[in-house]
């Protein structure tokens, strides 16, 4: 009992000392300042939510001084549109039972600023441990709330992006098993999420690209690379190949270990196709194509054909001046061509041919066309040139030139030969002819029967010889006219007399008693011509008229003296000429099919045509087979 009393005494003493210390501290420091400086807003309210006291922090938070809020109902004073008033009412109820409640709410400051608060509501005991009032502790969490809100909004934007982007976004496990894909995946590949998630990403790649992806992931996993970017092909559900540029980065756990991958893949099929076309074109084009930045005179692109054409690596020509790749002697024409392009005077079909230096020191001929283009986006004047190797063409030209030279040489040989042969024949033939005449004279001494036979033979020899002489003369004439060595001496000629003379000769030769009928129209005039050549002309035409009309009425000749020209028509009623042959009559050695046994070489008319043309005249033929032929020669005076 004593001990208990003793203890009680000690306890009382302790209490007394404590109280003394407390009151001493209270006396010394005024505890209110401790409360006031607290980081949380503190308010003491009555059960009816009437404000009894607030600390400094609370004054700062809501913007009301203590004097202004005393006695006001806290929920009325600080509530606004987003405030939940029931929170506090419920919390007070709970506090009266001795429990503590905490909740988040929105209150409004004096200047109507919205404040997010985290609030704890405690019971406030008096000294007799009776709950008399309520104590509210509030922390301003507006900043955190707003931060969270932006994060939420960002998340929404991010999710929206993911579902609307045309790029494929995916996540994989560390073993490459697909754990998520966005809508673009479904759209591009045709596989829905069920058919995708849980499958190895490798199973969707083109077999030839699988190795590439495995290698890239390995490099990331063993730390050689932070991420990878590869161009790969995916095979869609409908078995189409789609090209992608796949960028993939690892996902890390909190302790910095790789736990999977995430990535984005962009459809580059179109890009690839264009790239392929470009490569196909650029690599295989035979022509030499240049892209030149014209204002700087600098080569920006040259087709790989330059390797084959001139032995350069295309890189060697980049940034060089295109005019350095032109033979000095051709610079002028190339510059002139460029100028005509620049001032728009060139035709699109215009080309320039110049020598392009080869790497080995030689030159190759190029035939080039160019187009000048102004590109607004880069403010650049481009020249696009395309060139073909012209060596072949040049060689072709040279070949033709050589052939022409050869032909000239051969022609010369031919005409010398013809002249030689003709003269060599003509002399002995003339001798034979002379001898025949002498023999005819000397035949008188021979007995009669023999002499008749001999005379006939001699006459035959004479005729054949004459034929040969006239053939040789024709050949020589033709050769002279073809080689341009024809002796042409025009003077005044009485054409009427000339034709009559020729006509008589032919009649005599043809053993026709009457001469052909010559009609004259207009007043006869003299003509300036080469009489010898005109004789040959009309001799041929009139001979033909007689030759091809044996047994028919005699040919007729008409001579018209018109104002500016002379028209001579030689008309016969003989075998005529087949329609198809008329055009070919004037070619050398041509004879129509219907001549049968009638002698001839086919040279006469070709000589006639040349002679008429030499006189600046013309000849036409009108004929009907079986009816007759009319040859009309027109000559200027």
Residue in 302, 436, 603, 611 binding ligand ATP, rule: CB under 6 A: 603
The least distance separating ligand ATP from the CB of residue 466, rounded to whole angstroms, comes to 12
Beta-carbon contacts of residue 286 (< 8 Å; ≥ 6 apart):
305, 388
Q: How far, in Å, CA of 13 to CA of 407, rounded? A: 151
Nearer to ligand ATP, 284 or 601 (CB): 601
The least distance separating Mg ion from the CB of residue 591, rounded to whole angstroms, comes to 9
Q: For residue 549, state whether it binds Mg ion (rule: CB under 5 A).
A: no
- Contact code string over 601-630 relative to Mg ion, x by CB under 5 A: ---x--------------------------
Nearest of 201, 134, 209, 145 to residue 174 by alpha carbon? 201
Q: How far, in Å, CA of 71 to CA of 50, rounded? A: 5
Of residues 615-634, which lie at the interface with ligand ATP (CB under 6 A)? 629
Residue, CB closest to Mg ion: 604
Q: For residue 352, state whether it binds ligand ATP (rule: CB under 6 A).
A: no
Residue in 260, 490, 531, 600 binding ligand ATP, rule: CB under 6 A: 600
Nearer to ligand ATP, 119 or 606 (CB): 606
Nearest of 319, 292, 445, 435 to residue 375 by alpha carbon? 292
Supply 80's token pair. 């606004």
The least distance separating ligand ATP from the CB of residue 418, rounded to whole angstroms, comes to 16
Q: Are 326 and 365 in contact (CB under 8 A)?
A: no
Q: For residue 537, state whether it binds Mg ion (rule: CB under 5 A).
A: no
Strand (E) or helix (H) holding 471: helix 448-483
Residue in 60, 154, 460, 601 binding ligand ATP, rule: CB under 6 A: 601
Q: How far, in Å, CA of 167 to CA of 268, rounded? A: 10
429 binding partner (options ligand ATP, Mg ion, none; Cβ < 5 to 8 Å by kind): none
Nearer to ligand ATP, 455 or 582 (CB): 582
Residue in 346, 390, 545, 612 binding ligand ATP, rule: CB under 6 A: 545
Q: How far, in Å, CA of 176 to CA of 586, rounded? A: 92
3-state secondary structure 485-552: CCCCCCEEECHHHHHHHHHHHHHHHCCCCCCCEEEEECCCCCEEECHHHHHHHHHHHHHHHHHCCCCC
Output DSSP code: residue 287: S
Nearest of 285, 288, 311, 305 to residue 390 by alpha carbon? 288
578 binding partner (options Mg ion, ligand ATP, none; Cβ < 5 to 8 Å by kind): none
123 binding partner (options ligand ATP, Mg ion, none; Cβ < 5 to 8 Å by kind): none
Q: For residue 602, state whether it binds ligand ATP (rule: CB under 6 A).
A: yes
The least distance separating ligand ATP from the CB of residue 493, rounded to whole angstroms, comes to 23
Span near ligand ATP by CB under 6 A; candidates 265-273, 393-401, 425-433, 603-611: 603-611
Of residues 556-595, which lie at the interface with ligand ATP (CB under 6 A)? 572, 574-577, 585, 590-592, 595
Q: For residue 544, state whether it binds ligand ATP (rule: CB under 6 A).
A: yes
- Contact code string over 575-604 relative to Mg ion, x by CB under 5 A: -----------------------------x
Q: Are 78 and 99 in contact (CB under 8 A)?
A: no
Nearer to Mg ion, 213 or 608 (CB): 608
Q: How far, in Å, CA of 24 to CA of 234, rounded? A: 83
What are φ and ψ of residue 590, in 5° steps? -85, 135
Span near Mg ion by CB under 5 A; candidates 107-115, 212-220, 359-367, 536-544: 536-544
3-state secondary structure 566-589: EEEEEEECCCCCCHHHHHHCCCCC
Residue in 64, 170, 228, 548 binding ligand ATP, rule: CB under 6 A: 548
Q: For residue 538, state whether it binds ligand ATP (rule: CB under 6 A).
A: no
Nearest of 556, 596, 590 to residue 575 by alpha carbon? 596
Span near Mg ion by CB under 5 A; candidates 134-142, 366-374, 520-528, 539-547: 539-547
591 binding partner (options Mg ion, ligand ATP, none; Cβ < 5 to 8 Å by kind): ligand ATP
Q: Note the Cα 189 to chain centre separation in Å.
A: 32
Nearer to Mg ion, 250 or 555 (CB): 555
Q: How many CB atoms lie within 10 A of CB 147?
A: 11
What are φ and ψ of residue 633, in 5° steps? -110, 130
The least distance separating ligand ATP from the CB of residue 596, rounded to whole angstroms, comes to 10
Helix (H, G, I), strand (E, B) or coil at 154: helix
Q: For residue 544, state whether it binds Mg ion (rule: CB under 5 A).
A: yes
Compute the chain's Rg from CA coordinates.
62
Q: How far, in Å, CA of 115 to CA of 146, rounded? A: 10
The least distance separating ligand ATP from the CB of residue 538, rounded to whole angstroms, comes to 12
Interface ranges with ligand ATP (CB under 6 A): 540, 544-545, 548, 572, 574-577, 585, 590-592, 595, 600-605, 629
Interface ranges with Mg ion (CB under 5 A): 544, 604
């Amino acid at each position: 009992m004593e001990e208990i009393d003793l203890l009680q005494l000690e306890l009382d003493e302790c209490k007394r000392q404590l109280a003394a210390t407390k009151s001493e501290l209270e006396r010394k420091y005024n505890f209110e300042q401790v409360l006031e400086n607290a980081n949380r807003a503190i308010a003491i309210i009555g059960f009816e939510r009437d404000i009894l006291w607030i600390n400094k922090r609370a004054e700062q938070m809501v913007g009301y001084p203590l004097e202004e809020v005393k006695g006001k109902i806290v929920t009325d004073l600080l509530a606004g549109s987003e405030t939940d008033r029931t929170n506090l009412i419920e919390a007070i109820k709970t506090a009266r039972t001795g429990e503590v409640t905490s909740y988040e709410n929105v209150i409004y400051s004096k200047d109507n600023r919205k404040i997010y608060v985290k609030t704890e509501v405690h019971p406030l005991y008096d000294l007799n441990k009776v709950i008399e009032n309520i104590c509210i502790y509030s922390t301003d969490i507006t900043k955190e709330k707003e931060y969270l809100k932006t994060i939420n909004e960002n998340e929404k934007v991010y999710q929206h992006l993911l579902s609307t982007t045309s790029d494929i976004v995916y996540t994989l496990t560390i073993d490459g098993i697909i754990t998520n894909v966005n809508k673009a995946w479904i759209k591009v590949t045709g596989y829905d999420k069920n058919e995708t998630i849980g499958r190895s990403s490798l199973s969707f790649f083109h077999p030839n690209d699988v190795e590439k992806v495995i290698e890239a992931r390995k490099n990331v996993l063993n730390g050689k690379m932070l991420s990878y970017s590869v161009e790969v092909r995916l095979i869609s559900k409908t078995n189409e190949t789609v090209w992608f540029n796949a960028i993939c980065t690892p996902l890390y756990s909190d302790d910095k270990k790789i736990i999977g991958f995430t990535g984005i893949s962009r459809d580059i099929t179109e890009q690839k196709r264009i790239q392929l076309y470009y490569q196909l074109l650029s690599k295989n084009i035979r022509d030499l194509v240049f892209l030149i930045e014209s204002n700087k005179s600098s080569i920006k692109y040259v087709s790989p054909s330059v390797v084959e054409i001139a032995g350069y690596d295309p890189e060697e020509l980049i940034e060089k001046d295109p005019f350095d790749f032109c033979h000095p002697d051709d610079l002028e024409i190339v510059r002139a061509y460029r100028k005509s392009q620049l001032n728009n005077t060139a035709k699109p079909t215009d080309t320039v041919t110049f020598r392009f230096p080869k790497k080995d020191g030689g030159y190759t001929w190029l035939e080039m066309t160019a187009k000048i283009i102004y590109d607004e986006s880069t403010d650049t004047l481009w020249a696009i040139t395309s060139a073909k190797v012209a060596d072949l063409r040049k060689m072709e030209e040279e070949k033709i030139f050589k052939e022409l030279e050869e032909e000239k040489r051969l022609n010369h040989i031919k005409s010398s030969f013809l002249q030689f042969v003709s003269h060599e024949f003509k002399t002995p033939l003339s001798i034979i002819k002379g001898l025949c005449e002498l023999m005819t004279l000397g035949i008188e001494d021979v007995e009669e029967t023999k002499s008749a036979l001999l005379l006939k033979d001699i006459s035959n020899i004479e005729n054949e010889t004459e034929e040969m002489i006239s053939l040789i003369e024709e050949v020589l004439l033709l050769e002279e006219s073809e080689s341009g060595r024809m002796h042409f001496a025009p003077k005044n000629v009485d054409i009427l007399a000339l034709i009559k003379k020729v006509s008589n000769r032919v009649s005599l030769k043809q053993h026709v008693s009457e001469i052909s009928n010559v009609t004259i129209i207009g007043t006869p005039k003299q003509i300036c011509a080469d009489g010898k050549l005109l004789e040959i002309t009309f001799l041929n035409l009139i001979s033909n008229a007689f030759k091809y009309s044996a047994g028919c009425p005699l040919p007729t000749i008409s001579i018209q003296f018109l104002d500016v020209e002379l028209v001579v028509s030689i008309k016969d009623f003989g075998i005529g000429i087949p329609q198809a042959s008329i055009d070919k009559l004037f070619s050398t050695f041509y004879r129509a099919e219907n001549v049968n046994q009638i002698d001839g070489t086919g040279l006469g008319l070709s000589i006639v045509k040349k002679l008429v043309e030499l006189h600046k005249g013309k000849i036409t033929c009108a004929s009907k087979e079986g009816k007759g032929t009319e040859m009309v020669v027109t000559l200027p005076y």
